[in-house]
Structure 1
Amino acid sequence: MTQSYASTVIAAGAERVWEVVRDFDGLPTWHPGIASSEIEQGRGAAEVGCVRHLTLPDGGSIRERLLTLDDVERSYTYEILRAPFPVRRYRATIRVAPVTETGRAFVEWYAHYDAEAADEAELDETFASGVFASGLRGLSEYLAG
């Protein structure tokens, strides 16, 4: 199983960051790589089991299911149902924690997945840099206002 990981410190409090991140349908608000999002079948974005359909700027799409939503730990975990990536059993988590010394927020985003060995390095670059790190930069910029 392969892991991809990115993290950052954001100049906003953990509660404020979680308020933005928590919206499972809200990625287009702050992630530069997501053009639109729609929760399927009229379910709520905070409803475990809901499926979001993400549209990418190039017209590609990804379907993901919310597996857990934890307001105490300020995290959620989701799985990919369909995507243009050659992965199996992909599960990702985004988590927000307070940096108590500064009042800022520590945000980490990571995934575990199976892939062919020949694809692992490219997939890690795609997820760690292209999805997670770019998303965290977008989140930081969105919250900076």
Structure 2
Amino acid sequence: MPRPYSSAVIPAPLAEVWPHVRDFGAIHRWHPGIEACELTRGATPTDIGARRRLVLGDGGVVVEDLLALDDRGHTLTYEIIESPFPVRRYLSTIRLAPITAVGHTFAEWWVEFDADAAAEGNLVELFANGVFATGLAGLAGRYT
């Protein structure tokens, strides 16, 4: 099972960055590859089981469910329910941690997924660099 991964240093304190990540219905505000995001299930964007519908820059649609939100550990885990990607199972986590020496935030984002072997290499590249690294750079860009 592949595990694409990206990390970044966000030049802002964890207390400023975490509210953006934990808002499951607002990823479009910091991820440049997402044109729109709407909650289609859940009373609030932090309710476990909340569902969001993303419209990607190329018009593709992705539907995701919030599986876990840990304010103490600063992690958010979600799964893809529908997408244009040839994956059968997709569980992804974003985790933040303070860089106490300089007052910045360390962010990491990874996924475990199942796909046909022929598609795995392209998907690893797409998720690690096209989705996660791009999103983390967008998040960091809010503070530069």
TM over 0.5: yes
Percent same amino acid among aligned pairs?
A: 49
Deviation at 1:40, TM superposition (A): 0.4
Deviation at 1:58, TM superposition (A): 2.0
Aligned match of 2:103: 103
Aligned match of 2:140: 140
Aligned match of 2:43: 43
- Find out whether 1:75 has 2:75 as its counterpart: yes
Quick check: 2:41–2:49 contact (8 Å CA) kept in 1?
no
Provide TM-score, normalisation by structure 1.
Answer: 0.96
3-state DSSP of counterpart to 1:94: strand
Give, as a single letter, the amino acid of the residue that structure 2 aligns with 1:38. E
3-state DSSP of counterpart to 1:3: coil
Give, as a single letter, the amino acid of the residue that structure 2 aligns with 1:127. F
Deviation at 1:41, TM superposition (A): 3.7
How many residues end up aligned between the 2 structures?
A: 144
Give, as a single letter, the amino acid of the residue that structure 1 aligns with 2:57. P
Deviation at 1:15, TM superposition (A): 1.2
Whole-angstrom CA distance in 1 between matches of 2:96 and 2:42: 27
Deviation at 1:42, TM superposition (A): 5.5
Aligned match of 1:30: 30
3-state DSSP of counterpart to 1:113: strand
Aligned CA-pair RMSD:
0.9
- Moved segments of 4+, more than 2 Å: none
Whole-angstrom CA distance in 1 between matches of 2:94 and 2:42: 24
Unpaired runs of 5+ residues, structure 2, are none
Q: Deviations over 1:28-84 (max 9, x none)?
A: 111000000000046310000010000112221000000000000011100000001
Could you tell which deviates more after superposition, 9-18 or 35-44? Answer: 35-44
Give, as a single letter, the amino acid of the residue that structure 2 aligns with 1:79. E
Whole-angstrom CA distance in 1 between matches of 2:42 and 2:23: 15
Aligned match of 1:112: 112
Provide TM-score, normalisation by structure 2.
Answer: 0.97
Quick check: 2:42–2:49 contact (8 Å CA) kept in 1?
no
Relative distance call for 1:42 and 1:74 in structure 2 (3 A) is closer
Unpaired runs of 5+ residues, structure 1, are none
Deviation at 1:95, TM superposition (A): 0.7
Whole-angstrom CA distance in 1 between matches of 2:143 and 2:109: 17
